[in-house]
């Protein structure tokens, strides 16, 4: 099964790379632009996955009912809209970046620099979408409803009925 990477808060606000399977309720992880509290963790069992190849070279895997943050093409300055993964098509722009990556110390910095090659708040374009396979999934909830996926350099919305995986 896939096990997405999250950035857990370490001593003196440093980042500790932690897989979602090792995250505990009460941990602080990197959110949209601040540390957020993990409020729940769910083993969701076997679920169908969609795959998105992004313009930044990464692949995002998630359930069809997972909400992603899409930047509208007609009005990009209005902010990102939450859309179901099943409704997102090739050409959609997903919100990326995190301002905290510019300001906080990062443990194992050489491996994380790749996640900060895009300007915070810009987009990763969906270049391919496909149905994948079924896989075992884990989900978390956070205090703000959003968290950062460094392997894709995108901000994700969390909810109790959706699951995200990263390859």
Q: 20-39: per-residue pLDDT in tens?
A: 999 999 999 988 778 899 99
Q: Determine contact, residues 86/50, Cβ cutoff 8 Å.
A: yes
Query: Which residues of the chain carry a pLDDT beneath 50?
Result: 1, 99-100, 102-121, 160-167
Q: Determine contact, residues 40/141, Cβ cutoff 8 Å.
A: yes
Give the global pTM. Answer: 0.75
Contact partners, residue 74, CB within 8 Å, separation at least 6: none
Q: What's the rounded Cα separation, in Å, for the pair 16 and 6?
A: 8
**CB-CB neighbours of 46 under 10 Å:** 10
- What the block records as the tokens of 115 is 């996640």
Mean per-residue pLDDT over the chain, rounded: 76
Which residue has 């897989």 as its token pair? 19
List the alpha helices (DSSP H) in 76-142: 100-103, 109-112
Query: Residue 143 pairs with which residues in a beta bridge?
Result: none
Q: Determine contact, residues 96/121, Cβ cutoff 8 Å.
A: yes
């Amino acid at each position: 099964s896939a096990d997405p990477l999250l950035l857990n808060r370490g001593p003196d606000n440093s980042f500790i790379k932690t897989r979602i399977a090792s995250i505990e309720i009460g941990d602080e992880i990197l959110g949209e632009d601040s540390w957020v509290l993990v409020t729940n963790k769910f083993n969701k069992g076997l679920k169908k996955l969609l795959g998105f190849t992004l313009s930044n070279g990464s692949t995002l895997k998630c359930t069809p009912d997972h909400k992603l943050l899409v930047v509208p093409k007609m009005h990009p300055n209005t902010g990102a809209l939450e859309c179901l993964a099943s409704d997102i098509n090739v050409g959609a722009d997903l919100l990326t970046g995190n301002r905290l990556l510019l300001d906080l110390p990062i443990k194992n910095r050489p491996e994380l620099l790749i996640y900060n090659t895009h300007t915070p708040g810009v987009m990763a374009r969906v270049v391919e979408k496909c149905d994948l396979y079924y896989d075992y999934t884990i989900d978390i909830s956070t205090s703000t409803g959003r968290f950062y996926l460094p392997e894709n350099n995108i901000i994700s919305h969390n909810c109790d009925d959706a699951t995200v995986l990263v390859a």
